[in-house]
Structure formats: structure tokens, C-alpha cells
Structure 1
Amino acid sequence: MSTPWILGLTGGIGSGKSAAAEHFTRLGVHLIDADHAARWVVEPGRPALARIAEHFGPHVLQPDGQLDRGALRQLIFQDEQQRRWLESLLHPLIGEEIRSYLARAESPYAILVSPLLIESGQHHMTQRVLVVDVPEHLQLQRTMARDQVSEEQIKAILSAQATREERLRQAHDVLHNDRDPAWLRCEVERLHHFYLTLRGGQP
């Protein structure tokens, strides 16, 4: 059996990349979410968690020993240097986790879903990049409705992500997700049929 080629799937916060990813899995495509890999590498008992607690102090841990993501997020969004320190610790570990999962995939192509596909350099693990794209006002509207957070918080997250232009520059394919869920599913199916015709991610 031939090794699957890897599609990178990305999009800004509130773009609908998770909904798109979910539909790809319904079509039988193996997929790993970089956010899930990021959670696995900081589980209790893993070396990364001990390093984080040592660096930031015990207040970034919950009483049960799990990472307190909220406390850590506050620290790193206020301090660029701390964010870089954390990224340099976690990105290589997340990369290893992703690679080992993708190596076991059995569909004709496999997907790496990552909000930071471009910024983290994870797109180098892929042969093709699909960007789920929406105008910024829709990103804000959808994320505020979904997460019940302020516009300021969302804008802070947006500023830490690649700009829409940067993402689109790296894209081989763009899925414009500015309509309803049925449209999104049709677009995913159209892309899926196209991807099944590709070898190594190239036409």
C-alpha cells in the first residue's frame, strides 16, 4: 500500500476549519489535530509538563496536576518572550507526535489540522495546504457567539496568528466558508474527490 500524502488544513479562529475537518473524517480520511497533539504532550507524567511547571511556577498547574491552560494562556499572551520559550519547548515535541500518527494513517491522503500550520512551520510536513477562509468580521461574530468571549480577546488571538494574507499566500486550495454548513459540506466533498485523484498532493 502506498504511503498517504499529507494535506495541511488551516484557517484563523472562527473560520470553520474544525467543521471542515469533521466532514473529511466522515468521508474516511485519517486526520490528526495539532491542538490535540499539543494536549497530549503536556499530559501529567510527560516531561514537557514538568519543564513548564519548573519555568512558570506551580500556579500553572491545577490541583489534580493537569496544566491550567487559562493561567498559562494569560502569561504567554502578555509576554512575547515567554510565548517564544513555550513554543520552542513544545513545537518539536508536537511535531514528533504528529509525525508518528501520520506515519500510521491508512487513507489515500491524511490531514494535519493546525491553526498555526504556517506560523509553526508545520506546513513543511505537508505536501499541500488547504485554507478555510472567512472575512474577519465573520471570524469575530462566530467566535464571540461560540466561546462567549470579548472582541478584545479574539483580536489578541488573531494578532498572534498569521494574517489572512499570509495564510492565503501559502494555500494551494482555498475553501471560502462564508455560507451555511450545507455549502461547507459540498465544498469538502468536491475537494475530497479532487484529492483522491492526486499522487503526492500534486495534480
Structure 2
Amino acid sequence: MSSPWVLGLTGGIGSGKTAAAAHFASLGVHVVDADLAARWVVEPGRPALARIAEHFGPTVLRADGSLDRAALRERIFDVPDERRWLEALLHPLIGDELMADLGRAESAYAILVSPLLIESGQYRLTQRILLVDVPEQMQIQRTVARDRVPEEQVHAILKAQARREDRLVHADDVLINDRDLDWLHREVERLHRFYLTLKGGQS
């Protein structure tokens, strides 16, 4: 049996990519979440956490020795050099985790879900890209309602993510998720049927 091809699934905050990925998984597709891999590589006892603490100091650790993500975010948010240092450390480790997990796939195709698929270069692990897209105002409304955060914070996150135009340039397929969950599920099922006909991710 040939190894599964990989679909990259991405979208900005509040776009609904998690709901789309969950429905693909319910249809039997092997789904790998880059966010989970990113959390795993900085677990206590992993070498990356020790390097981070050494570089940024003990203030980025919680009392139990785990990473204080909020403290780390504050340290890197407006300091591009520090963010680049962190990315240079973590991206190869995350890439190794993703490759190992994708290698365990037994479905016809596998999905790599990543909000930073384009920015991180993870799209190079994929043969096709599906962008879950949504009008910006809807992104903001959904995120404020879901995460109970101020609108300004959502604007800051949007600014840090890839621009919609950059994602669209890379996308092979675009799912405009501006309706209800039933509609999203029907679109995922339609795409799934199409993806099952592809060899190597290309029509």
C-alpha cells in the first residue's frame, strides 16, 4: 500500500479550522495537530524547555517547572530577534514530531492542521493545502465570543499571523466558512470525497 499523501489545513484565528479538522477525523482521516506537537516539545523534561529557561531566565517557568506561555509570549511579542531565536529552536523539533506522527497514518490521506502552516514552512511537509477562510470581522466576533478576550488582543494576533493574501497564494482549495456548522460539515464531506480520488494530492 502506498503511503498517504498529506493535506495541509490552515486558517486564521476563529476561522473554524479546528471544527473542520474534527469532522475530517470523524470520517476516518488521520489528523495531526501542529499545536499539540508544539506543546509536546516544550514539556518538562524535554531539552527545548531547558534551553528556553536558560535563554529567557526562570521567569518563563511556572512553579511546577512547566512553561509559562503567557510570560514567554510577553517576552517575544514585540522583540523580533527573540521570536526568531525561539522559532529557530522549536521549528525543527516540531517538524520531527509532525513527520513521525504523519508516518503513522493509515488513511488514504493524512491532514496536518497548523495555524502557522505558511509562516513556519510546515507547508513543505504537504502535497496540497486547504485554507479555511472567513471574513475578518467574523473572525474577530467568533474569537472574542469563544475566548472572552478583548477585541484589541484579537487584532494583535491577526497582525502576527500570515496575511489572508499570503495564505490564498499557497492554497489549492479554499473553504469559505461563513455559515453554520451543518454547512461546514457538508463542505468537509464534499472535499473528503474529492480527496479520496486524488493520487499524491494532485488532480
Class of the TM-score when normalised by the shorter of the 2 chains = over 0.9
| Distance (whole Å) between structure 1 residues aligned to residue 83 and residue 137 of structure 2 | 27
Name the residue aligned to 1:106.
106
**Residue segments in structure 1 that go unaligned for 5+ positions in a row:** none
Q: Alpha-carbon deviation of 1:78?
A: 2.2
Q: CA deviation at 1:104?
A: 1.0
Deviation at 1:159, TM superposition (A): 1.0
Q: CA deviation digits over 1:48-85, x for unaligned, max 9?
A: 00000000111111111110111111111121111111
- Stretches of 4+ aligned residues off by more than 3 angstroms: none
Match of 1:79 in 2: 79
Q: Deviations over 1:158-185 (max 9, x none)?
A: 1111101110111000000000000000
Residues 1:121 and 2:118 are matched in the alignment: no
Aligned residues: 203
- Corresponding residue of 1:23: 23
> Counterparts in 2 of 1:34-49, with a 5 A limit?
34-49=34-49
State how far apart, in whole Å, the 2-side matches of 1:85 and 1:74 are.
15
Partner Cα separation in structure 2 for residue 4 and residue 148 of structure 1: 38
Q: Does 1:183 align with 2:175?
A: no
Matched position secondary structure for 2:77: helix
Separation in 1 of the partners of 2:61 and 2:160?
24
Could you tell me how far apart the structure 2 residues matched to 1:161 and 1:13 are?
8
Residues in 1 aligned to 2:13 and 2:170: alpha-carbon distance in whole angstroms = 17
Give distance in 2, aligned partners of 1:61 and 1:72.
9
Are 2:65 and 1:65 aligned?
Answer: yes
Structure 2 residue identity aligned to 1:30: H
Task: Report % sequence identity.
Answer: 72
In structure 2, stretches of 5+ residues that fail to align are none
Aligned match of 2:198 = 198
Q: Deviations over 1:95-138 (max 9, x none)?
A: 00000110111100000000000011100110000000001000
TM-score, structure 2 length as denominator?
0.99
SS of 1:78's equivalent in the other structure is coil
The equivalent of 1:160 in structure 2 is 160
Which residue does the alignment assign to 2:89? 89
Output the aligned Cα RMSD: 0.6
